[in-house]
Structure 1
């Protein structure tokens, strides 16, 4: 369920309000009745350890609101461990996505790695994030080796601005997303051998992150990064220059819309690979993961409903819609085994008709961008009814 964000706001659905039962203020979340209930259920009684877990819980509620919502669907005893894993991932992410010079960010990642090693070895630590993480790793026997590829991918963000192929992108995502799913498996619990569920958990982490990449294309460009395979974009006539032009003018060229539609469908295939893994989890963990699956996959629907124009505005799922989806998914998966077919919508056509402006006519003779006039034709990519 955890996924590393790629933009400054880690809420995958773009919401900006509090979630069920808690304010997002540090004091309210950190010392709420729900927080104390979670710690009691997990039998966390030592004051310093309680404070560390409360800090991680605040980080989750403040920065990962939809993720925090899904976490609330877990049994109370397991939520502190999820907060601890999120807190560490957020810690590293803030370093690479902040405004630090590259050399300083690299030095901080090295220090983070050293502190992690010390905490996992049982040495005292002043940072509450590491204190909670080390306790979670010990409690649930999480493989410490999973943190090595995670930090490797974090370092890649400091040196890599694009990925030539999907294989190159998948190497990055193994550390930044897939291992997060693997870290969570012991916390969620499985009804089968853990190794049998691992590929599905890894796929779900990848699906969530690919969704973030598509939603955050514009924001990542501002950081000089493109998290989509260059060869797959090139198949639609799209390169970094065209993406940058779209960012400047605030709308997507028709070729970019086609490329994004292709990436949305590729990502939905990853979701389909991941879905059978929900049934492999312990029944009490399924509502949480199924809800996260639904909320993240609906971002793809929002992108499609916007005509695959990720530059005109951020694809979001409204708060009321999030809560309704969470409630309905929880009821379905709590009462019955998850359905065999993944709850995904069908592909929608790419709209390149009236109102769609292209890179070619959106450039002035001097090479400066402008809004241009309507251009292009409607080129459906499926047999479904055209958008009007």
Structure 2
């Protein structure tokens, strides 16, 4: 098995290639937390790439054999928790960070269940379905990240808030990537929402439905904002550098959702990104926010949250 230093180096390369926003925010952590965040990210990224047959995101590869790829992910993840070498540095990285922090196979299994939905070309029928999907692919990752930062597995409310940050990130991603997902024959907009706006399944990108799609995506961006505000409440309980990093990531990813909403009908003319200069601005704002109480407006917005982590776990078991 690779040494810890080599696993960390591999994980750092993965996050630099796979997510510049997360990479930027991760440098605000103390060294130990930063390295553990990289190690966990490497596993998440590798699982996603195996399931979608891609390389650090990007274009999807051939989708045949998805069930076999999902089985491979489950087997290597289970092996990683035994402490044995898996033959893949990203899975070895998970085993390492699990031993150092107390992550469990059940936590990882919740994330893999989200990959399983993607492997079956699943589409949500309702808002509850959408949030259940977001729980698996991002909220559960937020819980794991919180444990990596030292949050106790028994601190249910703080884990709820960590889950909310993942939900906010995923909702922003879905809003931004509607066109890219459509090109890959995927749609994460609930069928109920499409029906409410009179959009037939699979036709959401047709030009004459653009105003209706814009209303749907604005609804999704509003939900992202609510969960971002809820996450900011939990961030206030973290250590100062951790709080700064989390608030930076929240600001950067929150800006993606806000920019998509601002662009309206033109949201998909080109991919929404946050420039390096603007990222630095959000990092600076987060440093100030980390020293101050959570704004009352944020607390009020968070009260509109419809689904808690416990609700989403219950939905996933139905």
TM-score under structure 2 normalisation? 0.85
Alignment match, 1:268 = 225
Does the CA-based 8 Å contact 1:278-1:338 persist in structure 2?
no
RMSD: 2.4
2:298 aligned to which of 342, 347, 351: 342
Alignment match, 1:306 = 263
Higher helix share: 2
1:118 aligned to which of 79, 82, 88: 79
The answer for unaligned runs of 5 or more in structure 2 is 54-59, 302-318
1:92-241 → structure 2 map (5 Å cutoff): 92-98=47-53, 99-190=60-151, 194-241=155-202
Q: Alignment partner of 1:163: what SS?
A: coil
The answer for unaligned runs of 5 or more in structure 1 is 1-45, 346-388
Does the CA-based 8 Å contact 1:279-1:338 persist in structure 2?
yes
For 2:198 and 2:224, locate their aligned partners in 1 and report how far apart those are by CA, in whole Å.
20
Q: Alignment partner of 1:91: what SS?
A: helix
Identify if the C-alpha distance between structure 1 residues 301 and 182 changes in structure 2 by more than 3 Å, giving closer, same or farther: same
Identify if the C-alpha distance between structure 1 residues 299 and 122 changes in structure 2 by more than 3 Å, giving closer, same or farther: same
For 1:203 and 1:308, locate their aligned partners in 2 and report how far apart those are by CA, in whole Å.
27
Q: Alignment partner of 1:243: what SS?
A: coil
Q: Deviations 1:175-199 (Å, cap 9, x if unpaired)?
A: 1111101111122234995222111
For 2:222 and 2:254, locate their aligned partners in 1 and report how far apart those are by CA, in whole Å.
11
What is the deviation of 1:287? 0.2
Identify if the C-alpha distance between structure 1 residues 241 and 104 changes in structure 2 by more than 3 Å, giving closer, same or farther: closer
Q: Deviations 1:75-115 (Å, cap 9, x if unpaired)?
A: 11111110111111111111233344434232122122112
1:321 aligned to which of 244, 257, 278: 278
What is the deviation of 1:300? 1.8
| 207-216 or 186-195, which deviates more | 186-195
Identify if the C-alpha distance between structure 1 residues 121 and 241 changes in structure 2 by more than 3 Å, giving closer, same or farther: closer
Alignment match, 2:313 = none
For 2:80 and 2:151, locate their aligned partners in 1 and report how far apart those are by CA, in whole Å.
27
Identify if the C-alpha distance between structure 1 residues 275 and 118 changes in structure 2 by more than 3 Å, giving closer, same or farther: same
TM-score under structure 1 normalisation? 0.70
Identify if the C-alpha distance between structure 1 residues 263 and 336 changes in structure 2 by more than 3 Å, giving closer, same or farther: closer
Does the CA-based 8 Å contact 1:151-1:175 persist in structure 2?
yes
Alignment match, 2:33 = 78
Q: Deviations 1:101-149 (Å, cap 9, x if unpaired)?
A: 4342321221221122112112223321122211100101112211112
What is the deviation of 1:267? 2.4
What is the deviation of 1:337? 4.3
Does the CA-based 8 Å contact 1:188-1:285 persist in structure 2?
yes
What is the deviation of 1:314? 1.6
Does the CA-based 8 Å contact 1:252-1:310 persist in structure 2?
no
Does the CA-based 8 Å contact 2:16-2:23 persist in structure 1?
yes
Alignment match, 1:283 = 240
Identify if the C-alpha distance between structure 1 residues 239 and 317 changes in structure 2 by more than 3 Å, giving closer, same or farther: farther
Larger Rg: 1
